[in-house]
Amino acid sequence: MKKVTVSLIVAAVVLAVACNKKADNNTTTPVTTAYLDLPDTTTQFFVFGSSVQSEQVNQQAQLGRVLFYDRHLSINNATACADCHKQEYAFSDNAQFSRGFENRLTGRNSMALQNLGMINLKRSSNGQFLPSFNSSVNLFWDGRETNLENLVVRPIANHVEMGISNLETLPAKLQKLPYYNDLFVKAYGDNTVTLERISESVAVFLTSITANNTRFDQSRISGGGTVELNARELHGRQLFNVKYNCASCHQLNPGPYNANIENFANIGLDEHTTDKGAGAIKGANMDGVFKAPSLRNVAVTAPYMHDGRYATLEDVIDHYSKKIQPHSNLDQRLRDNDGKPMKMNITEDEKQSLVAFLRTFTDYHMLTEPMYQNPFKTR
């Protein structure tokens, strides 16, 4: 494994001790060395038609992986993309709101980053193979982006999240870090750091994160699989697809139970909303409307909803069972024949079956895959 020293942090901390005890002036924190631990051979994020194509794009993904975990992308070197998007939670956050570079909280729950689209290759004028992106989903809770490269830079520039309001200063900042020299050379042929290369390489890395190795994918009902879902899971599938029609929002596009690219809904979280969601972009008739998220790895992405109000899947099901509120924009699929909020009255037994079925969407391989892990180590 290649190990590149990143930084050396030495701090002397004098502590005030209660009961009039004097602090030991020799008390110091241990010396910590951080280093970049990358494999000697190219990580296979993608496999394309030729080894030349694969090598170059995989080097771009490797660069993107380092950038994704590098806290130097924030104004005070305190926050990385990965601090709000953690692999073990399908690159979402297990907190209701995430903490930014000044420890302030974000306004919405961090969405999972997985199955974000397909990557295509284009040949540049100098013969390089460069990625182009075919996004299969609207991005962010309000769908304000469909361009994956724009998604990358928005949190970096955000005044709460990472705080670099002038993005033009970021390339010069990263150019000073010695470990990027070799990474940019391998990914792009020279060591020039640009904002376009930063956003592009992180987008390449994000595109490599896929969740398609679940029990549902391996089951016979997914088409050609060998795994048998148990009776409880099959009961949940019937409830999901037929009785409660959850699949009308969480459709089979582009893969099983990923949200349709145009599927947004007001699901009656509140009668009156303070967060306008898509309404802030498209007008009052979309107030309180948010993206129907992918249900891949949904069992590990708690808390739920755009504001993280529900701690468990059971809480979410309870919402649809009896708590849908009469918002003026409430989706028609959640209204009864009189136009009032639907009361599904889901039983406890049905709730258990629905949760069992949703757990079949967990891709444990993705959650532990080494090539997605933090390449920065400490000793």
The four Cα atoms 137, 142, 146, 151 give a dihedral, to 10 degrees, of: -110
Q: What values do phi and psi take at 41, rounded to 5? A: -105, 155
What pLDDT was estimated at residue 330?
98
Short-list 107, 80, 285, 82, CA closest to 162:
80
Give the integer Cα–Cα distance in Å for 271 and 288. Answer: 9
pLDDT digits (tens, 9 = 90+) for 155-167: 999 999 999 999 9
Q: Please name the helix (run of DSSP H) or strand (run of DSSP E) that holds residue 58, with its range, or none.
A: helix 51-69
Q: Which domains does the chain have, with CATH numbers?
A: 41-211+368-378 (1.10.760.10), 215-362 (1.10.760.10)
pLDDT of 27: 54
Question: Which residues does the chain have with pLDDT short of 50?
Answer: 7-24, 253-254, 256, 260
pLDDT at 12: 33
Contact 324/267 with Cβ under 8 angstroms?
yes
**Amino acid code (one letter) for 235:** H
Half-sphere CA count of 115, side-chain side, radius 13 A: 23
**353 touches 233 (CB < 8 A):** yes
Encoded tokens for 320: 């649809």
Q: How far apart are CA 224 and CA 252, in angstroms?
A: 16
Instruction: Report which DSSP code applies to 16.
Output: P
Residues 6+ apart with CB under 8 A from 186: 59, 62, 63
Q: How far apart are CA 113 and CA 116, in angstroms?
A: 7
Supply the pLDDT for residue 117: 76
- Give the pLDDT score at 146: 83
* End-to-end C-alpha distance for the chain, whole angstroms: 15
